[in-house]
Amino acid sequence: MSEEKLLDERKKSILKAVVDDYIATAEPVGSKALVSKYHFNVSPATIRNEMAELETLGYLEQPHTSAGRVPSDKGYRAYVDNLIQVEELPDEDADRIRDYLQDSLTELTGLIRKASSVLSDSTGYTSLALSPHMRRSHLQQIKMLMIEPGRALVVVVLSAGVVKDRLVRIPDILDANQLMQIAAAIEEGLSGMTLDDITMVTVASAARNAPLPESLLNQVLYEAYVAIKQADNLELYIDGQHQLLSYPEFHDVGKARCFFNTLARDGIIAGYMNEMKEQEPLQGDPALANNDHNRTAITPFKEQNPSYMIRIGQEIALDGLQDCSFVTTTYKVGDVIAGRIGVIGPRRMAYGKVISNISFVKQTVNEHLKRLARGDEILEERQK
């Protein structure tokens, strides 16, 4: 199994060709097809020997004797870590994405949803987008707006210009003015704190001077507290589930059902994506290291782009997605990494295309969110 030897250049290019071809055709690829399509200057027999070796090394698999080879998880892993070359996104695609995301400048969730949607459209796979977590954000404002007796809208403004609100019940006898005062007191006491640091206790102490009997006050404070805390709620946007049904790996309805069932539990997926942050990226395969030939060595994708996280097949720790691959990256709100956006599809995924698309979407989203945050800085300066 181990005993890793360096793969020579020819093995690498054969491996790459096999993966490329299998991605394109979904058919096991044989030695003869390889030589003719990829212009190797050797005979099929030579390729066969090499492929046999790649198989014993664990990079390829055979569905059965006398079928072609198919990449294993390890094969895909080597491919994405060291062999892939990612072209830049064609201008027309880039323009389309930019245009589509253009008009949702002001609202964060709208932008994330659209990002998810466009990503699914342009890759042809299923896209996932996790709303940013905000626990490190600072509370900037909290307002309470009387809607009618007994109901109010709590508006929470966070650093980086993120706005969340929530409709709540309040005691019937409170009037708009009292409500505003309470909100002002809370804002006075808490603004600048991170969501993480705000607790029911800090909320209560911020508002201790409010001119209200405690029982009434408590209900309002509780609702304010909940509104603040739910500003950090993770939301998962999934788009383009239907796309996967086009691929032969999902022609078996059992597989498809399994996949859809898993995606339907969006809490689990959201949790999984969220925890990815903390994980070390899986380490690459030393056998693929660039053995310093004078050969034009392409810098491996992995080293250029440490912020991309790719999970292949069994690497995905979610039941029902073991036949899939998962490519994600992070986006920032202001300057901090906040959310995650990505694509899920068959293991035989067009990684290059997916990465260039995600990469561009990520970049565009970051720019938009940076712009939001800039308005934010202006505000902070004025306050000084």
Report the residue number, 53 or 315, with the smaller CB distance to DNA.
53
Burial class (CB in 10 A: 0-12, 13-18, 19+), 268: middle
Report the residue number, 4 or 107, with the smaller CB distance to a second copy.
107
Instruction: Rule CB under 8 A: say whether 240 interacts with a second copy.
Output: yes
Which positions from 319 through 378 interact with a second copy, judged by CB under 8 A?
375-376, 378
Instruction: Rule CB under 7 A: say whether 38 interacts with DNA.
Output: no
Task: Name which position in 52, 86, 145, 282 contacts a second copy (CB under 8 A).
Answer: 145
Residue pair 38/29 in contact (Cβ under 8 Å)? The answer is: no
Residue pair 138/191 in contact (Cβ under 8 Å)? The answer is: yes
Produce one character per residue of 71-96: b if its CB has 16 or more CB atoms within 10 Å, e if not.
bbbbbbbbbbbbbbebeebeeebbee
Report the residue number, 297 or 378, with the smaller CB distance to a second copy.
378
Instruction: Rule CB under 8 A: say whether 246 interacts with a second copy.
Output: yes
Q: Binding partner of residue 153 among a second copy, DNA, none, CB under 5 to 8 Å per kind?
A: a second copy
Interface stretch with DNA, choices 37-45, 319-327, 353-361, 371-379 (CB under 7 A): 37-45
Angle CA(318)–CA(322)–CA(325) in degrees, nearest 5?
100
Residue pair 280/379 in contact (Cβ under 8 Å)? The answer is: no
Which residue's structure tokens are 């920032």? 332
- Closest distance to DNA from the beta carbon of 34 (Å): 8
Question: Cα–Cα distance between 372 and 106 in angstroms, integer?
Answer: 7
Interface stretch with a second copy, choices 162-170, 288-296, 302-310, 328-336 (CB under 8 A): 162-170
Instruction: Rule CB under 7 A: say whether 51 interacts with DNA.
Output: yes
Interface stretch with a second copy, choices 71-79, 93-101, 160-168, 179-187 (CB under 8 A): 160-168
- Closest distance to a second copy from the beta carbon of 108 (Å): 8
Write out the DSSP string of 269-285. Answer: HHHHHHHHTTSPPPP--
- Closest distance to DNA from the beta carbon of 41 (Å): 7
The residue count for binding DNA (CB under 7 A) is 24
DSSP 31: H
Report the residue number, 42 or 226, with the smaller CB distance to DNA.
42
Write out the DSSP string of 267-331. Answer: HHHHHHHHHHTTSPPPP--GGGS----SS-PPPPHHHH-TT-EEEEGGG--STT-TTEEEEEEEE
Instruction: Rule CB under 7 A: say whether 68 interacts with DNA.
Output: yes
Task: Name which position in 13, 61, 62, 218 contacts DNA (CB under 7 A).
Answer: 62
Instruction: Rule CB under 7 A: say whether 249 interacts with DNA.
Output: no
Question: Cα–Cα distance between 112 and 132 in angstroms, integer?
Answer: 9
**Coil, helix or strand at residue 186:** helix
Task: Name which position in 39, 64, 293, 382 contacts DNA (CB under 7 A).
Answer: 64
Q: Torsion-angle region of residue 161: left (phi > 0), alpha (psi -120 to 50) or beta?
A: left
> Within 10 Å of residue 177's Cβ, how many Cβ atoms?
9
Residue 11-30 contact track with DNA, rule CB under 7 A, x = bound: -----------------xxx
Tokens coding 252: 């078996």
- The residue length of the chain stands at 384
Task: Name which position in 5, 135, 251, 295 contacts a second copy (CB under 8 A).
Answer: 251
DSSP lists the bridge partners of residue 130 as 236, 340
Instruction: Rule CB under 8 A: say whether 175 interacts with a second copy.
Output: no
Report the residue number, 40 or 360, with the smaller CB distance to DNA.
40
Query: Contact positions toward DNA, by CB under 7 A?
Result: 28-33, 41-46, 48-49, 51-52, 55, 62, 64-69
Residues that bind a second copy (CB under 8 A): 105-107, 141, 143, 145, 147-151, 153, 155, 157, 161, 163, 165-169, 240-242, 245-246, 250-251, 253, 256-257, 260-261, 263-264, 375-376, 378-379, 382
